[in-house]
Structure 1
Amino acid sequence: MLETERLILRPPGMQDLDAFCAFASDAATMTHLGGVQARSQVWRALTSMAGAWHLEGFAMFSVIEKASGRWIGRLGPWMPADWPGTEVGWGLLREFEGKGYAAEGATAAMDWAFDTLGWTEIIHTIAPTNHASIRLAERLGARHRGPGRLPAPYGDLPVDIWGQTREEWRARRR
């Protein structure tokens, strides 16, 4: 579990299912994340993340807003089989966008991935039309590295790879 000024980042649990379903059923939110998902798909995604925590020792965190105790999204380290690199990704409920929560949580997750997981590089796979995530990646210090390709079943989704090394991240954080 990680804690920031306004957030608690913790491994996902079944108590997050309904909020995760609300997130995944919002068409605007899911535009760049593979589209709206049915409850059965969200259950598989949630249990996949929980399983990754168990098997690999990391996965995306559930993001909890301290002030309300609400689940507001998921973010953090993510590297499924055949992924194009060691990623820190993010996605928040639409009503919590624009408040700096994604930057706050991603910063804590990136520090943790570099310091605890020993990652030497972090990427962000971002749809070329996802301007908000591109701005966040830039704000985090990532550079555009060009087009990328995700594994099935997402291989047809256009993505660009943004990223930076641990040394670049640490130099910015000083």
Structure 2
Amino acid sequence: MQGPVIETARLLLRPTALEDFESWAALQADEEATRYIGGSQPRAAAWRSFLTMAGAWSLQGFGMFSVIERESGRWIGRVGPWYPAEWPGTEIGWSLSRESWGRGYATEAAAATMDFAVDVLGWTDIIHSIDPRNAGSQAVARRLGSVLRGPQKLPAPYENEPSEVWGQTAAQWRTRRGTA
């Protein structure tokens, strides 16, 4: 899959590639890492979600980026633009392997992909759908300058999962960028 590559100080962000699958499946199997995003998945379901992200890149021209730690070359998660059918808004989301938590990678990658969404995709609003119990993701949203907008209902099959919408406009992001 050809597509944009974004480099940050510590990360390389690129579209989903076949060589990412083993790490993707390991992330999807981790109950703690997936607790607030629908729960762990067996390998076959992880394959389908992996193909969904690759298909988003192919059909929409964007999807979450694979996040590669530059120093090690290791795939550590997915971060970036996400807007499936019936979703409550144009989202920048993140999901990283537990081994990479607490290092600022989610904020670093999300900030770079927010620039991409605003500058390249022309998004005028950015949301983050966050489970109200997920303090870690709430902290990332705050560091990005997003604010809690309130509860939201996600489309099926997530309609019964608790979710809050955090977000900001593109104009607000343009004012804040560089401080995240």
> TM-score, with normalisation over the residues of structure 2?
0.95
Equivalent residue for 2:152, pick from 148, 155, 159: 148
Q: Is there any run of 5+ residues in structure 2 with no aligned partner, and where?
A: none
Q: Which residue identity lines up with residue 58 of structure 2 in the other structure?
A: H
Deviation at 1:173, TM superposition (A): 2.2
Partners of 2:135 and 2:11 lie apart in 1 by: 24
Equivalent residue for 1:26, pick from 14, 20, 30: 30
Secondary structure of residue in 2 paired with 1:170 = helix
Partners of 2:18 and 2:42 lie apart in 1 by: 16
Q: Is there any run of 5+ residues in structure 1 with no aligned partner, and where?
A: none
Match of 1:101 in 2: 105
Partners of 1:70 and 1:95 lie apart in 2 by: 11
Equivalent residue for 2:66, pick from 62, 70, 81: 62
Partners of 2:134 and 2:52 lie apart in 1 by: 25
Secondary structure of residue in 2 paired with 1:30 = coil
Match of 1:80 in 2: 84
Equivalent residue for 2:114, pick from 95, 110, 113: 110
Q: Which residue identity lines up with residue 93 of structure 2 in the other structure?
A: G
Tell me the matched-pair count.
174
Partners of 1:136 and 1:85 lie apart in 2 by: 18
Match of 2:11 in 1: 7
Deviation at 1:13, TM superposition (A): 1.5
Partners of 1:151 and 1:51 lie apart in 2 by: 19
> TM-score, with normalisation over the residues of structure 1?
0.98
Secondary structure of residue in 2 paired with 1:158 = coil
Match of 1:160 in 2: 164
Check conservation: 2:111, 2:177, Cα contact below 8 A: no
Q: Which residue identity lines up with residue 134 of structure 1 in the other structure?
A: Q
Check conservation: 1:13, 1:46, Cα contact below 8 A: no
